[in-house]
Each structure stands twice: as C-alpha cells, then as structure tokens.
Amino acid sequence: TDAYIAQAEKTRSLNAFITETFDKARDEAKASDARRAAGNAGAMDGIPVGIKDLFCTEGTLTTAASHILDGFVPQYESTVSGKLKAAGVVSLGKLNLDEFAMGGANLHSYYGPARNPWDPTLVPGGSSGGSAAAVSARAVMAATGTDTGGSIRQPGAYCGIVGLKPTYGRCSRWGIVAFASSLDQAGPMARTVEDAAIMLGSMAGFDPKDSTSANVAVPDFAKALTGDIRGLKVGVPKEYRVDGMNPEIVALWDKGVEWLKAAGAEVVEISLPHTKHALATYYVIAPAEASSNLARYDGVRYGLRVPGETLDDMYELTRAAGFGREVKRRILIGTYVLSAGYYDAYYLKAQRVRALVAQDFTEAFKKVDVILTPTAPTPAFSIEGAPEDPVAMYLNDVFTVPASLAGIPGINVPAGLSSGGLPLGLQILGRPFDEETVIRAAGVME
Ligand code: GLN
C-alpha cells in the first residue's frame, strides 16, 4: 500500500484521482495485515485499488465528476464497492471520469481531464479515464470501472490495460450513480486478464436491491484461464471492417486472428447485419435514460443548490450551474426523443433496432463461441486536438456500443503498439453469462 501511495503521489499530474484516501488506506492495510496474520484473509485482501467516482462510498465524497454533486457524502456503500471491501481491498481513493460517465475521453470532468500515462498530452479514454490512468501508471493495482457504451473497454485500450465489461446483470448497479440504467454495468480494470478475473469474482453476484441483477452463480473466473482454446470457434464480424479504417487497427485485428489460430482456435467470418445502426440507437437510448435519471438533481436532495426567488428558479439555477455542457446536451436529446410527438419516431424505433442488434449476436453465437474485434478505431488522441464536434467523439464508440445494447460480456486485451508507440487493444465478446470463455480466449491473447 505504501508503495502504491508513493506512486500515486508521484503521478499526481495525471489527475487520475478526484479524492485521495491515503490515510484511510494505510489503516485498511494494517487491518488487512491483521486479517492475514489471523488466517482469515479475503480473496483480494490487502490489494490497493481505486474506485471510479461513480460508485457511492459510505463516508467518502462521491462526485460523478459533476459540480452538481458538490459535497455529496453518501451514507451508504454501493453493493460492488462493498463486496470489494468485504474481499479485503484497500482503497486509495475515488477516480476521475467523464461527468456522469458521459464521454469517451475524460474531457467532460468538472475536475479537469485525466491524462494518459503513456503520454500525458493524450487522453486516457473515457469515461473510466481515471481508472485506466491509475492502473496503467501503477498508482493502483486495479480499479473499478463502469461501462455503458464502452467506458471500461475503450480506456483500457487507450492505456494498455485489461478492462472487462461483464454481462448486464452480473454486477449489481445498486449504489452506482445511474447514467443509462438498461446499459450500465460495473467491471474490473486491471493489468492482466487474471487480475481482472479475480476481481470480477469479488464484484459479481445477485443483489436483491437491484431489480435487474441476475440470480446466477458466480464461478471462479480465474479457473477459466486454462490456456487451452483448441477447437474454440471465433467469429470475425465483417460489418466491423468499416470504410476508411485505420490500417494499423486492421493489421492488429489480423494479428489477433493469427494468434488465436496458432493457439488452435477456428476463426470464421460472421455477419452482424444491424451493426451500422447500433451507434445511432445507443445515442437515442442512453440520453433518454440519462434525462430521466438526472431529473433527481434538483438542488433539494443532493449536493449543489443555487438559491432563487422561487422553487422553480432554484431548480433552474442549480441545474444550469451544476451540469456541464455534455450532460446538458444529453438531457436535451433525451427529453426530445422521449417527448410526446417524437417518442414513436425516435425512442420506440431505437428500442426496436436494439432488439435487432441483440438478435444479431444471438444468431452469431449459434455458430461461434466468441467474437473478435478491435476495441477502438484509433489509439489515444491528444487532449488539445480532441474533436469539438460531439458526433465525431461519439464515432469512437462504434465497436463497443453494439455489445452494450445486447448486454453481452466484452473484454479489452492490450494487443500491441501503434507505430507511434501507443497501446492498441482488441475486444473479445461472448455469450451472456459466459465471461469464462471470454476470459479464456483473452488469456491466450495476452
Ligand atoms: N462514450 C460513451 C458515451 O459517451 C460511453 C460512455 C460509457 O460507457 N459510460 O456515452
């Protein structure tokens, strides 16, 4: 713990932490030593981790990287961070992210951008950018992330670490600040597939407090790392070979195919015909749900309050001052697509297309066990030169959102470096609740 705290202090310029809890961590480490000495250590006892600042943590400031949650100290612990505590982890603090997890570059944080340890002029990805940066910089051994449309996998790719988005329902959402409830899923971010597998085991499990939590057994995920993928059927979806794709990403993908073949897998081309509609579908559904979830920030119950003449004034002033630009944009899009005149044309249509995207995967998984794709269309880009145009930013999510819409598990595996020396990642997707096969295949790619 001392070594990781020292490294976290040394890498402060990355702005990976919103709240540091180093003193508390030292106490937790001592308690962990005592548990170890007494022979009752948990599965992750004494492991220094960071918690994305979207998880409510009892007694510790929780901001969601938003001004509107100023001073919000929860009186309760999210199920997932609570489970990690029960497994013995030592938390070094709360990690930076895009405000309410809306973004893919960590540029939309009220607390300023987190930076990529490979090159601090670059973004770490998002929304779990602080988590990816902290793990990659060795400031924590592992971190929690959340993934609504790629926020675990894409920052994993940009920072050269493993990020695992489990099946929707695998980890409880209870106590996680909600972005888009039908998509949000917590997962581990770590240096190796094995670490991620172990951590997932400590995060997952049925929770009656989350109505979408799945009542399925939690296997020993690390046991899936047999190193043996002989006979495994791997699908390569032709629709992911998008026009004008970065040739380095194409080459990486081809290399991934070769690795899996060399390890005895059978690689076949598959079709996911509705892929081209996934991004637009996601950017209707996610803002719709966000606009509803964010209605609770009214200046009465949480954080910031800007007083006004009337109650309505207070609501308006608080929300105007409390939300950042991207969050406001999404609330506007969300309320628009849900409004009486447009509901059928946008929201309902998006729900239908979502079902088609999910069906594509169901069909594909009748033929293959896992699917291999790139995680992101480019390596990390510069903070200064990040696209101003929100749609250009949204395009970075093209490979990650389909799996989110379908609720299936996906992992980013660091797979090599770009010609500029930046990490690139490949994504492996699997059947619902078959994280084990995803982990097994990922283990071979490492
Ligand atoms: N980049 C996507 C978005 O902006 C995904 C975010 C996420 O997964 N939380 O919505």
Write the pLDDT tens digit of every residue in 248-273.
999 999 999 999 999 999 999 999 99
Q: Which atom of ligand 1 is nearest to the CA of 286?
A: 10
User: What's the total number of domains in the chain?
Assistant: 1
Write the pLDDT tens digit of every residue in 323-338.
999 999 999 999 999 9
410 lines ligand 1 (CB under 6 A): no
What number is the average pLDDT over the span 33-48?
A: 97
> pTM of the entire structure?
0.98
Pocket test for ligand 1, best of 98, 189, 283 (most atoms within 8 A of CB): 98
Looking at residue 116, what is its pLDDT? 98
Q: What is the CA radius of gyration of the chain?
A: 21
Active site residues: 52, 127, 151
Q: How far apart are CA 320 and CA 313, in angstroms?
A: 10
69 lines ligand 1 (CB under 6 A): no
Distance 2 CA to ligand 1 centre (A): 33
Locus of tokens 């989350």: 210
- Pick from 335, 339, 356, 342: nearest CA to 405: 356
Q: How far apart are CA 346 and CA 339, in angstroms?
A: 10
What's the mean pLDDT when you consider all of the chain? 98
Phi/psi class of residue 271: alpha, beta or left (left: φ > 0; alpha: ψ in -120 to 50)?
beta
Residue 334: domain span: 1-446
| Predicted confidence (pLDDT) at residue 244 exceeds the cutoff of 90 | no
| Predicted confidence (pLDDT) at residue 411 exceeds the cutoff of 90 | yes
Distance 151 CA to ligand 1 centre (A): 5
CA atoms within 13 A on the CB side of 52: 35
Q: Which atom of ligand 1 is nearest to the CA of 326?
A: 4
* Centroid of chain to Cα 437: 20
pLDDT band of 379, cuts 50, 70, 90:
very high
Distance 172 CA to ligand 1 centre (A): 19
pLDDT band of 302, cuts 50, 70, 90:
confident
The amino acid that residue 437 corresponds to is T
Distance 184 CA to ligand 1 centre (A): 9
- Pick from 130, 127, 175: nearest CA to 153: 127
Give the residue whose CA is nearest to atom 5 of ligand 1: 149
For residue 158, the SS3 value is helix
Give the domain CATH number at 297. Answer: 3.90.1300.10
Question: Residue 419: is the preceding peptide bond cis (ω within 30°)?
Answer: no
Buried/exposed code over 365-388 (b: 16+ C-beta within 10 A; e: otherwise): beebbbbbbbbbbbbbbebeebee
Q: How far apart are CA 340 and CA 382, in angstroms?
A: 41
